[in-house]
Chain A
Amino acid sequence: MNEFAFFIDYSRCIGCQACVHACSECDTHRGRSLIHLETIERRESVQTAPQVCMHCEDPICAQVCPADAIKQTSDGVVQSSLKPRCIGCSNCVLACPFGVPKYDADVDQMMKCDMCYDRTSTGRRPMCATVCPSGALAFATIEEIMQARRGHPVNDWWFGDAHVRTKVYVLVPTEVSRFDISIIPLSALRRAPKPPVDPYDVAALLEGR
């Protein structure tokens, strides 16, 4: 299954949580879901965004782990913490730029998405990407995706000066070649002007704005 890759298209997400429930059904998860579905700001919009582990080429979670508990398999999948090693310190939780790892107090270790290792390693697609009814999550070859979708897949992320390349791709318009996520001080954010038109405000739409 090496030619298969994982793709996220946030613009397709409908917030249904099929991915969350399907993840919990994986044989090894026993009811625990390891995918996050973010509701961006329900008052403002119905926008939602699914977040799987992005599987960084050089995973930051593993770099900061003092117990060397986070391993990457040869196919580039970053695994959950190893139970005998994880000390539950949550360094990885704080360090991950995507907010993926979570400390699970019930099992006293960090748990996260492993791209359904038990399924992908036996030729099946990950649960979330198989069931996703909107195609916001997809597990396919690059060729299949390029043929079926507008835009193109990107996996280069810049967090300020720090570069991260991920195994998981995000589908974006063709004019976007990489993600630049600037580090903005909170004070600047507060000063930032509000956009004059709120595209998701139905009242504003009705007034013809």
Chain B
Amino acid sequence: MARPPDTIAALVHRFGPHLTYEPAGGWTTRGEPDRIVPTHCCFCGQQCGIQLKVKNEKVVGFEPWEEFPFNKGKLCPKGVKRYMQDEHPDRLRTPLVRDEGQGFQRIDWNAALDRTVREIQRIQSAHGRDAFAVLTGASLTNEKAYLMGKFARVALRTANIDYNGRLCMVSAAAASKKILGIDRSANPWSDIPKAQVILVAGANVAECAPITTDYLWQARENGAKLIILDPRMTPIARTADLFIPVRPGGDIGIFNGMLHVMIERGWIDRDFIAAHTTGWDTVEAIVRRYTPEYASQIAGVPASMIVRAAEMWGPAATSFLLHARGIEHHSKGVENCMAAINLVVATGRVGREGCGYAMITGQGNGQGAREQGQKCDQLPGARDIENPAHREHVARVWGVDESTIPHTGLSAVPLLEAIHDGRIKGLLLICFNPVVSLPDGNFIREALGRLEHFAVVDFFLSETAQYADVVFPGSLMEEDEGTTTSVEGRVIHHRQVVRPPEGAREDWRIICDLAARLGAADKFAYESTREIFEEIRLASKGGIADYAGITWDRIDRETGVFWPCPSVDHPGTPRLYEGARFGHADGKAHFQPVEWRPAAEETDAEYPIVLTTGRVVSQYLSGTQTRRIGALVDQYPEPRCEMHPRLAESLGVGDGELVRVESRRGFILVRALVVKTIRPDTVFVPYHWPYGQSANNCTIRAIDPISKIPEFKICAVRVSKEP
């Protein structure tokens, strides 16, 4: 029975989101801090360095950390205000159990842990081990991500563990692995300003990775040309040398069309292709058909833009490709990314200073959290759960028999579908708010309602935690110690700035306690997260994401260490593929031919408009944290439906008027934002909000066949003025 135990209004009244505007103790008592702790932002994959001020064991403010090389003190609004969570009145300070009709009741820790363990054992003995699943997140540190993977495979022995990186990095990861052989940005950010041309595909850098803006602008100061692909004129697109307002889902038209022109004009590196790649002939045969005219029909932009892009990208001496969710959140997300990466490899401009490629990680530990074994198909070190040698290595580190490690489980969306159809009956969830963040919200809520037991670890009562049977109050990033791996592949150190508030606990201690009660105490006998990191070093040793040579002391001394780093005397690897040595066994890059195909749901007469979703600068993901910080909420208080004046006029909608955005799956009521900066055939709604304003009420539960990422960027809707 996992349904909200009271009305939403009553739960919100008690647990928030409420807004804080002042630091702990108020502005007037802040005074001189007792200490200032250098650490990192808890939010996006940029993982900016920041110093937190502590007074009376409470975080009361921040000071820029100018010595940290990635951001040099720079921060976005979320980073500036993130510290307001620590003493937030909504913080959970005691375990809770659902009490039908009464909301949640307080319960002591032992009783809460016992209850969940009893339910796990009941469900697993009645329905099999895989009937209890685990969902985790990419905002967890490496240590916690590793712990969750081990907990699922060793303590629960369930195959079904997946994480919210499934909504984020998996298309980029799969494409990168297929072509280049390693799932990581190929270059450090310091290469960006050295490139002569930069292609940013489907990345609203200004709002989703603001610190990267300075790198782009710095490249332009050095004379670089900037090409931006986006259905919306974003702040970085406004002054770009070439802005291509691509139709959602039309990206392959741009990439293949560019490659077509580049081949015609001789702007590919045939020597490099012959020496260092495979599969070129198939790619060449396919893109031959992608004339600018044909490509322009797919891309929904004038052919001249595609030619111009090729003219800028093709002959340059150095170049950098950046892509993000705009091309990845598709049922052909992997193909989109592969078509883009083909452009990099065809020019041979990779693995050198100023030449390369990067995926812009979304979540704080989007990179590291997918390497430590909480993906349904991976073991630590980015190892393959179906590879016998990989399984054997990890089994030895864990001290278990290889045969006891489960095989590939379900990824996030199919896992929710399995809950919906009753195959999975219990769920432990941490660091994930699927009620807001997964597509087809009504289906997701219905699925959660069918769980026999639902346990959640969180620091606030998220909209998903409202469905829980048991809630364990966990810790914020600054209340625990550990590492994350930033967008660059740089492993960095998050310090414990303060302890969790009384009644809450560090997440890893909660998981270890559950494991102990499940009879795996000896496998989870950690005294600190540093011990977990030491085990990651062993577990990842010899793997692709090799952390064996990384220590916390080195991270502090060297302001981060880039993996792979196989030994303590190895300097780490800021730039991959140097000397054109790629990650595949043959050392070559493997071109992947890509043909365009339509989205899972294209527009039609009934639903004639494309809905695309994304983020705004002042909110973060499902908003569990940022919808509680007053200044950030005031900046963008509610989602708005961006539409072009031409579309608005045809719908009879004025700026600021309430509209109903409706798909075959659900609808939202939001206000219109009428702007010329979006394609007239597309509307945009940011997804950070719950309930009747949740853009994911409309989105489609279609996933990429390889990466299993949902198609957040395209679904068909109709829009009408709400009387």
Interface positions of A (Cβ within 8 A of B): 11-18, 20-22, 24-25, 27, 30-31, 42-48, 125, 127, 130-135, 148-150, 198, 200-203, 205-208
Contact = CB atoms under 8 A, between A and B. Distances in A.
Contact of A24 (B28, B210, B631, B680): B631
Contacts of A149: 221
Contacts of B213: 12, 14, 133-135
A125 B243 CA distance: 35
B61 interface: yes
B676 A202 contact: yes
Given A15-B206, A18-B210, A133-B76, 6 more contacts: A43-B655, A43-B674, A150-B220, A202-B245, A206-B245, A206-B301
A200 B677 contact: yes
B677 A134 contact: no
Contacts of B71: 133
A16 B77 contact: yes
> Which of B27, B220, B304, B646 lies at the interface centre, i.e. has the most chain A CB atoms within 10 A of its CB?
B27
A133 B77 CA distance: 9
Given A46-B234, A46-B677, A205-B245, A21 B80 contact: yes
A135 to B, nearest CB: 5
> Ordered nearest first, which 8 A-B pairs have the shortest CB separation?
A14-B206, A30-B27, A14-B235, A133-B210, A201-B676, A21-B80, A134-B213, A131-B75
A133 B75 contact: yes
Given A11-B239, A203-B646, A134 B676 contact: no
Contacts of A47: 238
A31 B27 contact: yes
Contact of B207 (A13, A16, A31, A203): A16
B238 A46 contact: yes
Contacts of B676: 43-45, 198, 200-203
Nearest to B644: A203
Nearest to B629: A21
Query: What is the interface of chain A mostly: helix, strand, loop, or mixed?
Result: loop
A198 B233 CA distance: 13
A42 B62 CA distance: 31
A126 B380 CA distance: 43
A131 B28 CA distance: 23
A31 B629 CA distance: 13
Given A31-B22, A135-B217, A202-B678, A16 B301 contact: no
Given A14-B236, A134-B213, A134-B217, A21 B677 contact: no
Interface string B665-676: 000000001111
A21 B235 contact: no
Query: What is the interface of chain B mostly: helix, strand, loop, or mixed?
Result: loop
B526 interface: no
Contacts of A16: 76-77, 206-207, 210, 617-618
A206 B302 contact: yes
B73 A130 contact: yes
Contacts of A11: 239
Contact of B235 (A15, A30, A201, A207): A15
Contact of A208 (B80, B304, B673): B304
B404 interface: no
Contacts of B30: 27
25 contacts: A16-B206, A17-B77, A17-B617, A18-B77, A20-B77, A22-B80, A25-B61, A43-B674, A43-B676, A44-B676, A45-B677, A46-B233, A46-B235, A130-B66, A130-B73, A131-B75, A131-B79, A131-B80, A133-B213, A134-B210, A135-B218, A148-B218, A150-B221, A202-B679, A205-B243
A199 to B, nearest CB: 9
Contacts of B221: 148-150
> Which of A25, A42, A47 lies at the interface centre, i.e. has the most chain B CB atoms within 10 A of its CB?
A25
> Which of A18, A43, A149 lies at the interface centre, i.e. has the most chain B CB atoms within 10 A of its CB?
A18
B542 interface: no
A42 to B, nearest CB: 6
A13 B30 CA distance: 31
Interface string B18-31: 00011000011010
Nearest to B631: A21
Nearest to B245: A202
Interface residues of B, number: 58
Given A43-B655, A202-B676, A130 B64 contact: yes
B635 interface: yes
Contacts of A15: 206, 235, 617
A43 B648 CA distance: 12
B75 A22 contact: yes
Contacts of A46: 233-235, 238, 677
A150 B223 CA distance: 9
A106 to B, nearest CB: 13
B74 interface: yes
Contacts of B217: 12, 134-135
Contacts of B64: 125, 127, 130-131
Contacts of B218: 135, 148
Interface string B67-97: 0000101111101110000000000000000
B214 interface: yes
A13 to B, nearest CB: 8
Interface in B288-309: 300-302, 304
A131 B646 contact: no
Contacts of A201: 676
A189 to B, nearest CB: 21
B211 interface: yes
Nearest to A138: B214
Interface in B592-642: 617-618, 631-632, 635
B354 interface: no
A130 B677 contact: no
B645 interface: yes
Nearest to A30: B27
A31 B644 contact: no
B55 to A, nearest CB: 12
Given A22-B80, A43-B675, A202 B206 contact: no
Nearest to A133: B210
A133 B66 contact: no
A26 to B, nearest CB: 10
A17 B635 contact: yes
A133 B211 contact: yes
Given A45-B238, A45-B676, A206 B300 contact: yes
Contacts of A127: 64
A185 to B, nearest CB: 28
Contacts of B207: 14, 16
Nearest to A23: B80
A36 B476 CA distance: 32
A14 B618 CA distance: 12
Given A18-B80, A24-B631, A31 B21 contact: yes
A206 to B, nearest CB: 6
Contacts of A200: 233, 238, 676-677
Contacts of B214: 12, 133-135
B22 A18 contact: no
Nearest to A207: B302
Interface string B226-259: 0000001111101100010100000000000000
A208 B245 CA distance: 11
Given A45-B676, A201-B676, A206-B245, A131 B234 contact: no
Given A133-B213, A203-B644, A21 B81 contact: yes
B648 to A, nearest CB: 10
A131 B304 CA distance: 39
A127 B73 CA distance: 10
Contacts of B77: 16-18, 20-21
Nearest to B231: A202
Contacts of B674: 43
B27 A42 contact: no
A37 B234 CA distance: 17
A9 B271 CA distance: 43
A202 B674 CA distance: 13
B658 to A, nearest CB: 18
